[in-house]
Structure 1
Amino acid sequence: MKILVVEDESIVSFDIQMALESFGYIVTDTVENYDDAINSVKENMPDLILLDINLENSKDGIEIAKTIQEFKDIDIIYLTAFTDDKTIDRAVETNPLAYLVKPFNRNELKSTLKLALHKMDLKELDNKHISLGDGFTYDKENKNLYFNTVPVKLSQKEEKLLELLLESKNSIVSFSDIEYNIWPEKAIADSTLRSLIFRLRSKLNHKVIETIPSFGCRIVI
């Protein structure tokens, strides 16, 4: 587990780093401001961020989290001495794994990390199995579609279309993007694309795939 620490109090930051390393975690970096945090995430790709909310001479930790989540899905544990409703409400918008209220000791840090790891494991498992509603589930890792645990056979192109729609779930994928990704080396007739979408819809609950005439389609889950 690789962890980035964002904390502007050097003594606190050092203590956290020593504790994390004693627990067996890898500390990718310790930084104290917005710019360094963003750059460190891009360079080191941590699995988890311990993020102080109140940072002097910098945008606060919540703003850092919002920026990071625009380009990378990384789990966050907030470190904070602030428990007022306004701060908590802002923090909740970034869906953190946990909060550690300062001051905290090593045992509290260790317990919070243990709970966070459990949540991350559940999240990873959930991400591998996507519920499509009405008894349909898609196993992303093994590329299998199930209806009430019974496998549903998909053609190679149907499978590719489903994955393409799931990558942008609830958002419209244009017909041109579908064509480019599934038939990258040749032009196809509109009827060929319509037929593929129809076949996939017929194997799922028809409501789950919406078609936007003359533009594209989306999967709604």
Structure 2
Amino acid sequence: MISIVIVEDEILVAHFMSELLKKMGCNVVKIIHKFDNAIETISQIRPDILLLDINLGTKETKTAGITIAEALKDHNILTIFITAYSDERIVKDALMQNPENYIIKPFTEESIKISIQLALNKLQRRSEETVSFKLCQEYAFNAKSKYVMYGDDKIFLTSTELSALELLCDRSNKIITHEELQNSIWEFKSVSSSTVRELFSRLRKKIPCLKIQNHAGIGYELILRG
């Protein structure tokens, strides 16, 4: 579940946002009303998304949200500024923090939903990219969703072919012995060398540019470099 921290000095506004986000299936792990210890608290929680009010209620904290965002810039948190400010200088300073969005008060329920959904979409893309292996040319394997894509088309793999490809990707550029293949793919069942060759032959046909090197008498290697 996506984790969110809200930094907002207006209690009713913070509560409204929290309830809305919960309805969207998000986990509001913390609501912070003051600048004091906000940076330390957020650093410890490391939420996926930060809803951050710029002005936290006093002259001293007039642009506290910008200070918080700047302090957390290396934490890889998606930040959405929420503020009543339309001052050009403050807006410019806020935008320098590269927020995901900038919402002006008074905001609507719809504006919050749209901003959060855009952030959720980005998190989803990030998640997919971290588990996606570029096999060759336009072919890629998503280890999380367990499918091979050729451009926008899905390539069907049998369960045995999928197990083999997962193992090859996990151990890319390293030789996987025949014994390791049998133990991992066929669960310690003894299979003939022709069965193994046929498996990799099918993979090569479905993914023509796949570089699977046969090390005679030793095993196979998926080459992803170069």
In the superposition, the TM-score normalised over structure 1's length comes to 0.54
2:114 matched to 1:111? yes
Residue number in structure 2 paired with 1:32: 33
Matched letter for residue 69 of structure 1: K
Structure 1 residues 127 and 98, CA gap change in structure 2 (3 angstroms)? farther
2:84 matched to 1:100? no
Matched letter for residue 30 of structure 1: I
Residue number in structure 1 paired with 2:64: 60
TM-aligned CA deviation for residue 34 of structure 1: 2.6
Distance between the aligned counterparts of 1:123 and 1:83, measured in 2? 31
Which secondary structure does the structure 2 equivalent of 1:46 belong to?
coil
Structure 1 residues 155 and 122, CA gap change in structure 2 (3 angstroms)? same
Structure 1 residues 28 and 84, CA gap change in structure 2 (3 angstroms)? same
- Whether the aligned pair in 2 keeps the contact of 1:29 and 1:40 (CA below 8 Å) is no
Q: Which runs of 5+ in 1 are unaligned?
A: 143-152, 157-202, 205-221
TM-aligned CA deviation for residue 46 of structure 1: 1.0
Distance between the aligned counterparts of 2:97 and 2:131, measured in 1? 22
- Whether the aligned pair in 2 keeps the contact of 1:76 and 1:96 (CA below 8 Å) is yes
Which secondary structure does the structure 1 equivalent of 2:72 belong to?
helix
* Aligned partner (choices 77, 80, 83) of residue 77 of structure 1: 80
Alignment of 1:1-221 (within 5 A): 1-55=2-56, 56=58, 57-58=60-61, 60-70=64-74, 72-125=75-128
Which secondary structure does the structure 1 equivalent of 2:80 belong to?
strand
Matched letter for residue 86 of structure 1: R
Distance between the aligned counterparts of 1:61 and 1:116, measured in 2? 18
Cα root mean square deviation, aligned: 3.4
Q: Which runs of 5+ in 2 are unaligned?
A: 145-171, 176-224
Structure 1 residues 10 and 46, CA gap change in structure 2 (3 angstroms)? same
In the superposition, the TM-score normalised over structure 2's length comes to 0.53
Distance between the aligned counterparts of 1:128 and 1:89, measured in 2? 36
Matched letter for residue 32 of structure 1: H
- Whether the aligned pair in 1 keeps the contact of 2:49 and 2:119 (CA below 8 Å) is no
Aligned length: 148
